[in-house]
Structure 1
Amino acid sequence: MKKLSKLIGVAFLAAILFFATDVKAQTTPAKAFVLSLGVESGLPTGVAKLGTNFSLGGTARLQYGVTNDLAITFTAGGYHFFPKKIPGQDRRYQSYGELPIKAGVKEFFLPNIYVGGEIGVAFEKLEGPDWGPHRLDLSPNLGYATKHWDFGIHYDYLTHKEDHLGIFALRVAYGFGL
């Protein structure tokens, strides 16, 4: 299983490099807006790991190029946590979602390679009409972006009082200028 995961990672990286070799510009030129729509798949950490082992979601990210290497970002979307079966029972844990709203920065330190960070709030949506607590959302990220595609990994650290959880996720997004 470990070798298969490494093989998939290497294949994914090779595909990114293969499709993006003709790109010559950064993804966010100075004084320009880019909107990207992404699909995210992640693995929960912390207390989220107790009742779920997979998350899937989508986000929209608006970014403004301050310079050719620095962008300001605003991200909103949602993650759904798929529940595990309760051990020894025929039922599953309750499913829930997190709806993040974040602002941050994205810095290109090499052509097409960026590091970034976002801070915001995430609202927990429980099954039915109920809402859970809102949480502080801290999210460092690292990625590879072309003129239209953005492949990034990030960790969302969600905290509320003594309740801490996280998502280690991969975001694949398509962006276009506004």
Structure 2
Amino acid sequence: MMKTKTKLLAVALTAFILFIGVNANAQSFQKGKLRFGIGADGLIPVGNFSKSANFGLGITPRLQYGLSKKVALTFTTGFYHFFPKDQVYNDGTLSYKYKWDLDLIPVKAGFKAFVTSNIYIGAEAGIGFQVDNGGGDSKFMASGGAGYVTKHWDFGVRYENFAGNGYRNGLIGLRVAYGFGL
């Protein structure tokens, strides 16, 4: 059921982005210039991760450096908080409920490349530092996605995977950001 919902959401967002892109004003990077954006993220756990987390919220500042009018390097950090589901642990003698908790600080580098004047594809990779339950754990993070931008707004969707300590989790991220040149 979750896979069907995720696929429908991805198709609907892609269609929306393509529809808007047909009537959009030109957008491009300025070579050698910096751009800063601050985003709010809705994080939808997928796969096994959806068994332990309901959803997540994030805030993600991003710095971009234009390599050309069509390509930029990105550096993203911020904070992700996931809202856990109740879990039941049974060790054979005792059974009790607990909540799995995950708060991450992502630190990622990547790129954005425009395929039309307002629609881009992008990818990022980096490390997520776990800060809950005493912290100390880190996870490799990798994502790929697409988005639509205007002069100040950036609407993006991505699939992100993070792995560490034998666990691999995935999510669909929906990002709305406000940006400006520096």
Which TM-score band applies after superposition, normalised by the shorter structure?
0.7 to 0.9
1:152 aligns with 2:145: no
Which of residues 96, 102, 116 is equivalent to 2:108? Answer: 102
Task: Measure how far apart 1:96 and its partner are.
Answer: 2.0
1:61 aligns with 2:67: no
**TM-score, reference length from structure 2:** 0.81
**Paired position in structure 2 for 1:117:** 123
The number of aligned residues is 173
Q: In 1, distance between residues paired with 2:24 and 2:170?
A: 36
> What SS is found at the alignment partner of 2:41?
strand
Deviations along 1:50-88, one digit per CA (max 9) or x if unpaired, are: 321201111000001110000000000111000113369
Task: Measure how far apart 1:125 and its partner are.
Answer: 2.0
Over aligned residues, Cα RMSD in angstroms? 3.0
Task: Measure how far apart 1:155 and its partner are.
Answer: 1.5
Task: Measure how far apart 1:23 and its partner are.
Answer: 2.1
**TM-score, reference length from structure 1:** 0.82
| Contact kept? 1:20, 1:146, Cα under 8 Å | no
**Paired position in structure 1 for 2:34:** 33
| Contact kept? 2:140, 2:162, Cα under 8 Å | yes
Aligned partner of 2:51: which letter? Answer: L
| Contact kept? 1:65, 1:72, Cα under 8 Å | yes
Task: Measure how far apart 1:133 and its partner are.
Answer: 1.6
| Contact kept? 2:139, 2:163, Cα under 8 Å | yes
Task: Measure how far apart 1:15 and its partner are.
Answer: 9.0
| Contact kept? 1:83, 1:92, Cα under 8 Å | no
Task: Measure how far apart 1:94 and its partner are.
Answer: 3.2
**Paired position in structure 2 for 1:76:** 77
Aligned partner of 2:50: which letter? Answer: K
Deviations along 1:13-55, one digit per CA (max 9) or x if unpaired, are: 65996699452232x2222111010000011134432321201
- Consecutive unaligned residues of structure 1, counting only runs of 5 or more, are none
Task: Measure how far apart 1:90 and its partner are.
Answer: 9.3
Q: In 1, distance between residues paired with 2:74 and 2:17?
A: 26
